[in-house]
Amino acid sequence: MNPTHLPQGPAVRYEGDVLFVEDVRVADLAREHGTPLFVYSRAAMLAALSAYQRGFAGRKARVFYALKANSSLAILQLFARAGCGFDIVSGGELERVLAAGAQPADIIFSGVGKTRHEMRRALELGIHCFNVESEPELEVLNAVATGLGVRAPVSLRVNPDVNPLTHPYISTGLKGSKFGIAHKDALRAYRQAAALPGLRVVGIDCHIGSQITNVTPYLDAMDRMLDLVTAIEAAGIPIAHIDFGGGLGIVYNDEQPPAADALWQRLLAKLDARGFGDRQLLVEPGRSLVGNAGICVTEVLYLKPGEQKNFCIIDAAMNDLPRPAMYEAFHQIVPVQRRAGAAMVCDVVGPVCESGDWIGRDRALSAQAGDLLAVLSAGAYCMSMASNYNSRGRAAEVLVDGSQVHVIRERESIEDQLRNETLLP
Ligand code: LLP
């Protein structure tokens, strides 16, 4: 692919041979803040959000950002200020969104394994809704709520059993999945929820998978969900909101996902046709709000030609960018300064002592040691999944806004890494 046509939209682009994020030269950022460095575009995040907002214009609908995609505080603050609610999956994410300025009423709590402690904290705060994923969880939430003398607002996550046509590790709505309540058991679970004194049924939700690039699975899931809403309401249990989860894919390479507004045009037409157009709608996008708003800047440490393969060893690794190792995911890798010269086909790999520590395979690059590269589409599920493997500190992060640069996370120091550990007496 010609690197002039970057997958990320206008915020990340070349001017001549020089890579920019908004109005800032990426090379300047690397010089100032070091590498590996995550660089995000504020404008790209807000543009991604406004595609949803355009799609929902005139509807009773709300975006709850799924912060597992990128939970850095400044990014949460940006989305809170732009009017988003948040979809959390742990007590840690709960405290994070509160620290970023979110209100409890703007939080929904998903996840298959909520603890009593997490439930209690969320109930005391008064969050918007619990997305409950099993019948035993209903019982536990009921007990915790009753103990506090409150009623927990619940939506049941239903498994619509449609194939999202994505990587098996990020498919969640199929029968064999640990997520959600089976479609055939949903009515029974709703009856159970409605009968428990500590619960108040407010909605229904689904999430069928991630990096979905096709409209059909969404349309199928919506049909399955609306069938259920009809049956549940016929049983005398009103459903105030319908939550369609997240999952919309982005362009990493040559995918062609629908834009959020185009997707929702199709889905809203179906909702209208089936007579549900005036319902309160929720969505929980993660990747599609941040994925293409970020890059990871890294320095080439060594070129290592080999008999069977050439390697380009960079200073970012699987601890910073875990998606290739975990899902064999593809991220474009481009030079920060394009140079003339013959390209070498190589595997781009990190310093971690694992064969799985590769970031790109068989890439044609004309790079030399000391050059800077940018790993694209690195705004989602990179920093939020980063680890300290090999005692590597987590990277720094900056947010670019026009020509302004905000450091939103300092590079993690070795003192940071050692803080919670103690030697034996
Ligand atoms: N809601 C629920 C209940 C979810 O489980 C997820 C993602 C989302 C919303 C947001 O989905 P998104 O819009 O980001 O697709 N680490 C993997 C992706 C895991 C997705 C987990 N659940 C990756 O890097 O591809």
Q: E-strand spans in 237-357?
A: 241-243, 280-283, 294-304, 311-314, 333-335, 344-349
The per-residue pLDDT for 74 is 98
Domain spans in the chain, listed from the N-terminal domain onward: 12-41+291-418, 110-285
Instruction: Give the pair of three-digit tokens for residue 214.
Output: 């096709």
397 CA distance to ligand 1 centroid (A)?
A: 21
Q: Is 362 left (phi over 0), alpha (psi -120 to 50) or beta?
A: left
Quote the Cα angle for 133-210-258, to 5°: 130
Q: CB within 6 Å of ligand 1 — which residues?
A: 66, 68-69, 87, 110, 170, 207, 210-211, 245-248, 284-288, 323, 327, 381
174 CA distance to ligand 1 centroid (A)?
A: 15
> Of all atoms in ligand 1, which is nearest to the CA of residue 287?
14
> Of all atoms in ligand 1, which is nearest to the CA of residue 291?
14
Pick the CATH number of 12-41+291-418 from 3.90.550.10, 3.40.50.150, 2.40.37.10, 3.40.50.10070: 2.40.37.10
pLDDT in tens, 387-423: 999 999 999 999 999 999 999 999 999 999 999 999 9
> Of all atoms in ligand 1, which is nearest to the CA of residue 288?
13
The per-residue pLDDT for 95 is 98
Pocket test for ligand 1, best of 87, 172, 287, 318 (most atoms within 8 A of CB): 287
403 CA distance to ligand 1 centroid (A)?
A: 31
67 CA distance to ligand 1 centroid (A)?
A: 9
Distance CA 10, CA 20 (A): 10
For residue 131, count CB atoms less than 10 angstroms from its CB and return exposed for 0-12, middle for 13-18, buried for 19 or more.
buried
Helices (H) and strands (E) in the chain, counts: 12, 21
Q: In sequence order, what are the beta bridge partners of 373?
A: 298, 335
Q: E-strand spans in 293-365?
A: 294-304, 311-314, 333-335, 344-349, 358-365
Domain at 110-285, CATH homologous superfamily: Alanine racemase (3.20.20.10)
Pocket test for ligand 1, best of 210, 331, 381 (most atoms within 8 A of CB): 210
How far CA 4 is from CA of 1, 9, 335, 343, 404, in Å, comes to 9, 11, 11, 16, 24
DSSP state of 214: -
The one catalytic residue in 84, 296, 353, 382 is: 353
- The fraction of the chain above a pLDDT of 70, given in percent, is 97
pLDDT in tens, 192-218: 999 999 999 999 999 999 999 999 999
The answer to whether residue 1 scores a pLDDT higher than 50 is no
69 CA distance to ligand 1 centroid (A)?
A: 7
Q: Whose CA is nearest to atom 16 of ligand 1?
A: 381
Distance CA 353, CA 84 (A): 40
Q: Is the pTM of this model over 0.95?
A: yes
The per-residue pLDDT for 8 is 85
Instruction: Give the pair of three-digit tokens for residue 142.
Output: 């009921």
273 CA distance to ligand 1 centroid (A)?
A: 29
> Of all atoms in ligand 1, which is nearest to the CA of residue 111?
3
Q: Whose CA is nearest to atom 7 of ligand 1?
A: 210
284 CA distance to ligand 1 centroid (A)?
A: 9
For residue 149, count CB atoms less than 10 angstroms from its CB and return exposed for 0-12, middle for 13-18, buried for 19 or more.
exposed
Pocket test for ligand 1, best of 71, 207, 296 (most atoms within 8 A of CB): 207
How far CA 216 is from CA of 163, 189, 248, 257, 263, in Å, comes to 9, 27, 12, 11, 10
The answer to whether residue 234 scores a pLDDT higher than 70 is yes
> Of all atoms in ligand 1, which is nearest to the CA of residue 247?
15
Task: Name the 3-class secondary structure at 158.
Answer: strand
Q: pLDDT band at 2, cuts 50/70/90?
A: very low
Is 84 part of the annotated catalytic residue set?
Answer: no
Q: Whose CA is nearest to atom 22 of ligand 1?
A: 210
Instruction: Give the residue-averaged pLDDT of 338-354.
Output: 95
16 CA distance to ligand 1 centroid (A)?
A: 36
Going by their DSSP bridges, the two strands 294-304 and 311-314 should be labelled as antiparallel
Cβ-based neighbours of 131, under 8 Å, separated by 6 or more: 87, 108, 109, 110, 111, 154, 155, 156, 157, 205, 243
Query: In the predicted model, what is the mean pLDDT of the chain?
Result: 95
Q: Which amino acid is at 63?
A: V
The answer to whether residue 86 scores a pLDDT higher than 90 is yes
The per-residue pLDDT for 423 is 98
Pocket test for ligand 1, best of 64, 68, 211 (most atoms within 8 A of CB): 68
pLDDT in tens, 24-75: 999 999 999 999 999 999 999 999 999 999 999 999 999 999 999 999 999 9
Q: E-strand spans in 168-270?
A: 181-182, 199-205, 241-243
Q: Whose CA is nearest to atom 8 of ligand 1?
A: 246
Q: Whose CA is nearest to atom 23 of ligand 1?
A: 381
How far CA 61 is from CA of 58, 151, 152, in Å, comes to 9, 24, 22
> Of all atoms in ligand 1, which is nearest to the CA of residue 329?
25
Distance CA 168, CA 271 (A): 28
Distance CA 204, CA 227 (A): 12
Question: Element (H or E) spanning 132, and its range?
Answer: strand 129-132
